């Protein structure tokens, strides 16, 4: 039964693998036709063993990708969309390289494009591995199709293999820490430097022999062009890939947290109290994420959007209320219902606005199944009988560490805002109570957060919140009158601690 289930789990990915392979073969067939429109039939019939080698090699390369994930990270294959992204990237980049090779120059093929896209969409580890697959895929296409005429093959093909591998690998390390799309362009220029050096080194014997500088300078020029084109195309292709596969790159997260993001603009205008609260939660969540090694940018984005559900009825939430409080006029049951629906409303609003599911999930989970104590207590005082279920959030409980961080930071921000005493000792007490209560109520059972990480989060919040709400400087309570005579000494400081 278990084996049957696991078989079903990977069936979607296996179908994606077969479908992608067939699509790649169709693409290669079209490449052969376009390479020599009048003689492609002759090429295929006369080079049958070559075509067979091509079929087997591409199948082998795609198979290596599938089994890499099968043995290294099986969860990747559980959602067919993920392997579909990998195979789509391979196919799209192979087509782009072909078009540049065919219609511009073989040296201008933007080999690094695949590595850069894979880096941003899948991460460095996968990009490094998949870059091997991509350059070998291009090598196999060059070797077994009519891309090159037979005489050119040995020299050009191996140079392309080596340079493709080097430019891909260098681009992964060069581009990894780039924070802006402008910085990425600059990286493209730097990327071309090692490539040009290698091209010139390769050609030193030829250069000294025939002194045909123009040929080699042109080749180097096309290589530089290829590097810059790779970066420009990566910039152009990232957004459609991010949207089509609902992925979270650093660029996308930064766009989502910019002040121009439409939902944040609405939050700022329609629920300013919630907006300010979200900004502080974002700051806290980001620091906590860094402290436990989670994605800080994702934590910040999730915090910005965690309460957008309040946009439906902003005036029903304390932070946006003026003198009028709607809850004084309705039953505690109805109040609790309005309050708890902001998690579901937020989730639906975020999905409807095409925000990443990871961000929407946090909006849905940030109160877990916690009780809304204030209205439960109010109902108990009114009728003496209330079902806690009717006064609890509907969940689900956090299933990621980021959701757990937002749950804690959210409560810590609200609680410290409400208290007068913001000394580290008092903030520590508040944060500890928040975490312990959520543990008692089983809110962290679905996310694999450890006790050690919860302790780190607590300490980080204490440091940050005692920092956010600075102590007031203790002014001496001594007071003078008009004649500059002391009317109250420091010892006579009033009980409430107010200073003049």
Residues that bind Fe ion (CB under 5 A): 307, 410
- Indicate the residue among 13 and 301 with the shorter CB distance to Fe ion: 301
CB of 268 to Fe ion, least distance (A): 15
Distance CA 251, CA 253 (A): 5
CA distances from 461 to 284, 359, 434, 444 (A): 7, 22, 11, 18
Residue 134 vs 305, nearer CB to Fe ion: 305
Among left, alpha and beta (phi > 0; psi -120 to 50; other), residue 485 is beta
**CB-based contacts of 452: which residues, under 8 Å, 6+ apart?**
none
For Fe ion, which is the closer residue by CB, 97 or 402? 402
**Distances, alpha carbon 36 to alpha carbons 32, 40, 41, 149, 314, in Å:** 7, 5, 9, 11, 65
**Closer CB to Fe ion, 24 or 412, in the complex:** 412
User: Looking at the DSSP assignment, which residues form a beta bridge with residue 5?
Assistant: none
CA dist 83 and 205 (Å) reads: 44
CB of 333 to Fe ion, least distance (A): 19
In this chain, which residue has its C-beta nearest to Fe ion? 410
Residue 276 has which token pair? Answer: 């300010």
CB of 415 to Fe ion, least distance (A): 11
| Nearest distance in Å: CB 486, Fe ion | 48
In sequence order, what are the residues at sequence separation of 6 or more whose Cβ sits closer than 8 angstroms to the Cβ of residue 197?
Answer: none
Closest distance between Fe ion and the C-beta of residue 342, in Å?
A: 6
Q: How far is the CB of 410 from Fe ion (least distance, A)?
A: 4
Structure tokens at 144: 């077994």
Rounded-to-integer distance, Cα 155 and Cα 465, Å: 64
- Find all residues with CB under 8 Å of 395, minimum gap 6, and list them: 365, 368, 369
142 versus 307: smaller Cβ distance to Fe ion = 307
In the complex, minimum distance from the CB of residue 281 to Fe ion, in angstroms, rounded to a whole number: 6
Name the minimum Å distance from CB 34 to Fe ion: 56
Nearer to Fe ion by Cβ, of 109 and 366: the residue is: 366
- Minimal distance in Å, beta carbon 413 to Fe ion? 7
User: Measured from the CB atom, is 9 or 469 closer to Fe ion?
Assistant: 469
- Using only C-alpha atoms, the chain has a radius of gyration, in whole angstroms, of 31
Which residues lie below 8 Å from residue 420, measured CB to CB, with a gap of 6+? none
Query: Residue 25: exposed, middle, or buried by beta-carbon count in 10 A (0-12, 13-18, 19+)?
Result: middle
The residue to which tokens 């806290």 are assigned: 284
Closest CB to Fe ion among residues 367, 422:
367
Q: For residues 136 and 393, which CB has a smaller minimum distance to Fe ion in the complex?
A: 393
CA distance linking residue 187 with residue 113, whole number of Å: 12
Closest distance to Fe ion from the beta carbon of 350 (Å): 13
Minimum distance of Fe ion from residue 258's CB (angstroms): 21
Q: At what angle do helices 181-202 and 213-244 cross, to 10 degrees?
A: 150
Question: Cβ 422 to Fe ion, closest distance in Å?
Answer: 19
Helices and strands, number each (H, E), in the chain:
21, 2
Query: Which DSSP symbol is given to 475?
Result: -
Q: Which tokens hold the place of 334?
A: 């109805």
Give which of 84, 156, 127 is closest to 234, Cα–Cα.
127
Q: Which is nearer to Fe ion, 134 or 376 (CB)?
A: 376
Instruction: Select 252 or 367, whichever has its Cβ closest to Fe ion.
Output: 367
As a whole number of Å, the end-to-end CA separation of the chain is: 76
Residue with smaller CB distance to Fe ion, 246 or 318: 318
| Element housing 487 (H / E) | strand 486-488
Query: How many Cβ atoms are within 10 Å of 274's Cβ, its own excluded?
Result: 23
185 versus 351: smaller Cβ distance to Fe ion: 351
Element (H, E) at 486: strand 486-488
- The least distance separating Fe ion from the CB of residue 325, rounded to whole angstroms, comes to 18
């Amino acid at each position: 039964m278990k084996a049957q289930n696991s078989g079903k789990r990977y069936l979607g990915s296996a179908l994606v693998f077969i479908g992608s392979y067939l699509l790649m073969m169709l693409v290669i067939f079209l490449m052969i036709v376009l390479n020599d429109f009048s003689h492609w039939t002759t090429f295929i019939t006369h080079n049958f063993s070559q075509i067979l080698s091509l079929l087997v090699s591409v199948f082998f390369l795609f198979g290596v990708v599938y089994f890499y994930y099968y043995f290294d990270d099986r969860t990747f294959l559980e959602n067919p969309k993920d392997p579909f992204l990998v195979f789509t990237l391979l196919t799209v980049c192979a087509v782009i390289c072909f078009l540049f090779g065919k219609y511009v120059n073989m040296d201008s093929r933007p080999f690094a494009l695949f590595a850069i896209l894979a880096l941003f969409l899948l991460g460095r580890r996968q990009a490094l591995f998949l870059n091997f697959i991509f350059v070998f895929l291009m090598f196999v296409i060059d070797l077994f199709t009519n891309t090159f005429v037979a005489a050119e093959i040995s020299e050009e093909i191996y140079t392309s293999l080596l340079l493709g591998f080097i430019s891909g690998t260098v681009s992964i390390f060069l581009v990894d820490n780039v924070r802006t799309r402008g910085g990425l362009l600059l990286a493209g220029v730097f990327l071309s430097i090692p490539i040009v050096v290698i091209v010139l080194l390769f050609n030193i014997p030829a250069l000294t022999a025939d002194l045909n500088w123009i040929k080699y300078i042109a080749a180097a020029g096309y290589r530089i062009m290829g590097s810059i084109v790779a970066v420009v195309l990566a910039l152009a292709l990232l957004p459609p890939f991010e949207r089509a596969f609902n992925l979270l790159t650093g660029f996308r997260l930064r766009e989502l947290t910019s002040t121009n993001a439409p939902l944040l603009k609405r939050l700022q205008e329609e629920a300013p109290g919630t907006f300010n609260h979200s900004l502080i939660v974002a700051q806290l969540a980001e620091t906590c994420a860094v402290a436990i090694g989670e994605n800080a940018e994702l934590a910040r984005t999730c915090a910005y959007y965690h309460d957008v559900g309040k946009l439906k009825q902003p005036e029903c939430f304390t932070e946006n209320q003026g003198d009028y409080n709607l809850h004084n006029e309705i039953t505690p049951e109805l109040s609790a219902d309005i309050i708890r629906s902001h998690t579901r409303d937020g989730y639906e609003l975020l999905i409807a606005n095409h925000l990443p599911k990871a961000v929407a999930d946090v909006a849905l989970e940030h109160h877990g199944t916690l009780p809304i104590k204030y209205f439960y207590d109010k109902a108990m005082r009114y009728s003496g009988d209330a079902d806690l279920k009717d006064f609890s959030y509907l969940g689900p409980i956090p299933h990621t560490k980021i959701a757990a961080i937002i749950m804690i930071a959210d409560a810590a921000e609200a609680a410290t805002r409400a208290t007068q005493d913001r000394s580290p000792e008092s903030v520590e007490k508040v944060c500890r109570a928040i975490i312990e209560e959520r543990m008692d109520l089983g809110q962290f059972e679905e996310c694999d957060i450890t006790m050690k990480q919860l302790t780190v989060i607590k300490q980080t919040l204490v440091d940050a919140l005692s920092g956010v709400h600075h102590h007031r400087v203790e002014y001496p309570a001594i007071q003078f009158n008009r004649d500059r005579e002391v009317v109250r000494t420091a010892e006579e400081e009033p009980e409430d601690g107010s200073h003049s």
